[in-house]
Structure 1
Amino acid sequence: MPDDSKLVDGEQLKGLIENDEFRATCSSFSGAPRPQLEWYIDKLKLDSKTEEETDRVYSHLTVKSLPRHWSGRKLICQASNTNLTTPIRKEVELKMLTYPSFTEITGPVSELSAGHNYTLQCSSYGSEPAADLIWYINNKKVDPDSTIIKIGNNSTSQLTILPTSGSDGWNVSCSSFNPKLPMDRVDTSYTMNVNYPPILKLKIGGSLNPSKIRQGNDVYFECFSMAKPPAYKIEWYHGKNRLEENVKDGILITPTTLVIQKMTKEQGGSYHCRASNVEGDTISNRIHINVRYPPECLTSSLSTVSMAPNKTVRCRVDSNPEPTRFFWSFNSSKGEEIAFEYDKIDLDLGLIPGPGELSCVAQNRIGNQEIPCAWQVKETGIPEPPDDCNITNQSIPILNINCKPGWDGGLAQTFHLELWETNPSRIIRNLSNLHQPQFKITRLKPGQSLIIIIYASNSKGRSRYVEMESRTTKVAELAEQIDSGPEGSAGLDWIQVPLGAVLGNNFKYIYTLNLNQ
């Protein structure tokens, strides 16, 4: 029988490290005949050789690289010398530090959308003890959502990310390592594939200064778009209005450019582009175009003013920038021409020597006004009658009558309305208005035959009349010869006849109003 070996039966052999070289010796002393020694891992016999010395037999076991699957298994040395005796076995349990065998990142890692939260999970398997895990984004360590969960030799950790357009292509990695062997790590990583809505930058072309665009200049815009996936649509806007290509009007559009040829002052203002992809819509920065143009008169018709001291007339123009100079001139009714050395926006009418035509030309840094502002200068006199009278409320028993004031004769004027009943002939209203030729007539009775007379007055006298009257026989005969009156006069019969055709030169308009319907 061989003597007991030096192995301590049933103990754990600790401190072993996966892949390290391992050596063990099994010795047996005495025994006749001398025993043979054999090595086993559990029931698997290992290659070995028994050596003899004077007082013992022994066997060396050398493993160049400890395999990880030996961890937790029993290493056995068995001594036997004859079939007549039971072999002696000594065993120890191998306790080994192992590295992580596999590490992976799971989660929605195929395509990400910017601005949305995603949770990734890193899992590590096979480390003894269970591995520690560290997250990195672009090689910079980041903290996980919570502590690492370790069960057996498996570890898991979660990381929530909020990708942006700038994080497309970033590297997310997870490093796993045995906490007792921190220098040897198993890493895994993936590249973030982030989709994002368009990122836009609007620029004005060339060396143009958007605050100094002259009317008639060509203006070029370019919309730079960065998007994933690429934008499928780019639109152009002037203020809130979407622009369409119009070659005739000089608006040229490509997917990324906008050209406005011979820009007008009406085309000044804010411009931006808008792009869309499956991730959303984006509006670019806005560029404000300040169109500069020479002065233009705000009134296109010839106005009438009266000669009066301490009264002024203003040269009202639209311009950008504001006018810096004004040139006044006067052509008298006798053909005399006077240029005033007067560089102000307002002209004192006391400087005018008599009736004629007054004009003004304004100047700014862009140029001179092409068409002058003009006024017909008259001496003070009686006012012109109100003009363009109409009834805006045709319901009975109320009438709203609105007119436009005529020339005031150079003096303060008052507007008057007389309402006459024809049968019997009597005045039933007498109204005046110091400000506007606007009147409201109430408490009318159905079936009344009425005459409405409107005129203006000042200290020089009364204007001609504007009359609206009921249908008389004489006017009815004329009505058969002319067309119906203004559109929208349902419930009212309107007839307009030539000035002076019925009532002579003292009246400007005649309207027929039937309140019987």
Structure 2
Amino acid sequence: MAEESLLCRGGNNPVTRPLQHQIDFNILVPPKFVKITNEVIEMLAGEEYNLECTSRGSNPPANISWNLAGPGEEQFGRGSDLGTELVSANISTKVINSETISRLPFTPSKQNEGWVLVCRAWNPILNSTLETSLVLRVAALPEVILEHSMNIDNGVAEGEAVKLTCHTQAASIHSQGWYFQGKEISLDVEDYKLEENNLFIQNISRKLQGNYSCSGENSLGIGYSNVVQVLVHHTPVCGKNGKIEFTQDGTNFVFICPVQANPRPTKFRWNFKSGDNSLILERTTLTPKLEIQLNPAGSGVDYSSVSCSSQNLMGVQDSPCSMHLVPKGVPDPIRECISNISTKTVIISCSNAAPNLSPVKYVLRLKYNLAANTQRIEIINPSSPYFLVRDLPLNTRVSAEIVAINDKGESAPFQVELDTPQPDNLQETSSSSLNSKL
């Protein structure tokens, strides 16, 4: 308090004590100084800062309040106060003589970039105010939003152009990236054109349909956008492997046509042909699944291939999906095998023959000489051309042949010569690909 006194004395002679009267009073003084004493030049979004504001010279000591003003907020209250007053139980204030110190715990968000934080000191009796302010600089990972042109919500036709716009909400963006199916796009290819924050997909095709996103990078790191799916309307085509899938139960078959299309196909056409490419059977389905009985007993009909094609609202499939069916005769010969030979075992594994319209079993036949006698071994595998042979004599040449057999006969043999290890190489194991002698 600026407490002062005035003393008045009066007398008319030097003998008597003069009369006196003292008046005590306070001088009301507005704030003379206010400052945020620990200004932070740049804050990180989400991190807490303890800010301190000091006021001096006011009598009585000044009250201090904190205000936060966003863009375009109107003035209100005393003087030129801006924004909304911050009220928190965590704000602490202490008074030392004529000095008031206020501490504010403050956690900025990225939306506070460019806002104004005001410290206001005011004398409650004089209604006199002194203010200082801090323009907030808030650094944050970029907030990135990807928008698309209105015409892609329900898909676009092949050949159309698509525009994607990447919006970044953060200060000091120094680079931007674009991604297709999670991989960064090379912008030096003809399919894409970049103009500022817009990506144009020119003459879009099936290979360019998928998920797109973008990113923005600043000093704190990279922020990624939402994903926009671009769907392309096109006529049906065969899938990546182009293979018709099928399952078999005796003469009953289920075929699945492996087409890709947008929109979904509405009709499927199936053709079964003989070895001379003559059409034997034709079917139409509304789904990619066909259930059919082939080669009923005694029919004598052989099927060489099956194909399927489909159509949707965009048109008819240009090239059908097809699969070769082995006629109901003897199986095709086995062509690829590998062997693994050790002192105790011989393992021979071959690739399956082509699909066949009747069950197939596989037979391994071994022949070798032992003490001037010819030894023969036959091993049957009813499901696959995989064979394990134990306890063959060492240092012996073994002739082997593998055949596939069905109810019409057996295939041409796959023939090879194998050499078992010598006694002085008992620890060795050898693996190799086998080539038929035929």
Q: State the TM-score, normalizing by the size of structure 1.
A: 0.67
Correspondence for 1:156 among 82, 93, 101: 101
Q: Are 1:94 and 2:41 an aligned pair? A: no
- The one-character-per-residue Cα deviations of 1:303-343 (angstroms, maximum 9, x if unpaired) are 9999x994336252221344321223455567755673533
Query: What aligned pairs does 1:248-327 form with structure 2 within 5 A after superposition?
Result: 250-253=191-194, 256-297=197-238, 310-312=251-253, 314=255, 316-321=257-262, 322-327=264-269
Report the 3-state secondary structure (helix = DSSP H, G, I; strand = E; otherwise coil) of the residue aligned with 1:97.
coil
> Partners of 1:72 and 1:301 in 2: how far apart?
100
Contact 1:495 1:510 in 2 (8 A): no
> Partners of 1:177 and 1:311 in 2: how far apart?
94
Contact 1:195 1:228 in 2 (8 A): yes
Q: Are 1:245 and 2:192 an aligned pair? A: no
> Partners of 1:303 and 1:118 in 2: how far apart?
64
> Partners of 1:203 and 1:343 in 2: how far apart?
40
Tell me which residue corresponds to 2:416: 468
Tell me which residue corresponds to 1:220: 163
- Report the alpha carbon displacement of residue 423 of structure 1 after superposing the two structures with TM: 4.6
> Partners of 1:189 and 1:270 in 2: how far apart?
46
- The one-character-per-residue Cα deviations of 1:203-252 (angstroms, maximum 9, x if unpaired) are 1235222x5244554433221112212x111112223322222425x244
- The one-character-per-residue Cα deviations of 1:407-436 (angstroms, maximum 9, x if unpaired) are 465211111223333455655653322222
Tell me which residue corresponds to 2:77: none
> Partners of 1:427 and 1:213 in 2: how far apart?
71
Correspondence for 1:403 among 347, 350, 353: 350
Contact 1:198 1:276 in 2 (8 A): yes
Correspondence for 2:112 among 167, 170, 177: 167
> Partners of 1:112 and 1:93 in 2: how far apart?
50
Correspondence for 1:458 among 383, 403, 406: 406
Look up the equivalent residue of 1:414 and give its one-letter code: K
> Partners of 1:255 and 1:428 in 2: how far apart?
78
Contiguous gaps of at least 5 residues in structure 1: 1-67, 472-489, 497-508, 512-517
Contact 1:313 1:349 in 2 (8 A): no
Correspondence for 1:117 among 44, 48, 54: 48
- The one-character-per-residue Cα deviations of 1:368-414 (angstroms, maximum 9, x if unpaired) are 222123455665222222232223x4665444433222246521111
- Report the alpha carbon displacement of residue 264 of structure 1 after superposing the two structures with TM: 4.5
Distance 1:458 1:149, change over 3 A: same
Tell me which residue corresponds to 1:476: none
Tell me which residue corresponds to 1:13: none
- The one-character-per-residue Cα deviations of 1:16-38 (angstroms, maximum 9, x if unpaired) are xxxxxxxxxxxxxxxxxxxxxxx
Query: What aligned pairs does 1:47-446 form with structure 2 within 5 A after superposition?
Result: 71-79=2-10, 90-138=21-69, 139-144=83-88, 145-179=90-124, 181=125, 183-205=127-149, 207-209=151-153, 211-229=154-172, 231-247=173-189, 250-253=191-194, 256-297=197-238, 310-312=251-253, 314=255, 316-321=257-262, 322-329=264-271, 337=279, 340=282, 342-343=284-285, 345-346=289-290, 347-350=292-295, 354-355=301-302, 358-375=306-323, 379-391=327-339, 393=340, 397-407=344-354, 409-423=356-370, 426-427=374-375, 429-443=377-391, 446=394
Contiguous gaps of at least 5 residues in structure 2: 70-82, 420-428
Look up the equivalent residue of 2:353 and give its one-letter code: G
Q: Which has the higher contact order (CA 8 A, sep 6+)?
A: 2
Report the 3-state secondary structure (helix = DSSP H, G, I; strand = E; otherwise coil) of the residue aligned with 1:207.
helix
Task: Return 123-132 or 280-289, whichever deviates more.
Answer: 123-132
Look up the equivalent residue of 2:360 and give its one-letter code: Q
- The one-character-per-residue Cα deviations of 1:95-152 (angstroms, maximum 9, x if unpaired) are 3333322222222332222222111112121233322222222222222424421121
Contact 1:382 1:409 in 2 (8 A): no
Task: Return 401-410 or 161-170, whichever deviates more.
Answer: 401-410
- The one-character-per-residue Cα deviations of 1:143-188 (angstroms, maximum 9, x if unpaired) are 2424421121211111111111211222222232344x16333333
Please provide the CA RMSD for this pair. 3.8
> Partners of 1:103 and 1:304 in 2: how far apart?
84
> Partners of 2:418 and 2:281 in 1: how far apart?
53
> Partners of 1:257 and 1:187 in 2: how far apart?
44
> Partners of 1:403 and 1:80 in 2: how far apart?
136
Q: State the TM-score, normalizing by the size of structure 2.
A: 0.78
Across the two proteins, how many residue pairs are aligned to each other?
A: 406
Distance 1:435 1:263, change over 3 A: farther
Contact 1:117 1:162 in 2 (8 A): yes
Distance 1:377 1:281, change over 3 A: closer
> Partners of 2:114 and 2:169 in 1: how far apart?
15
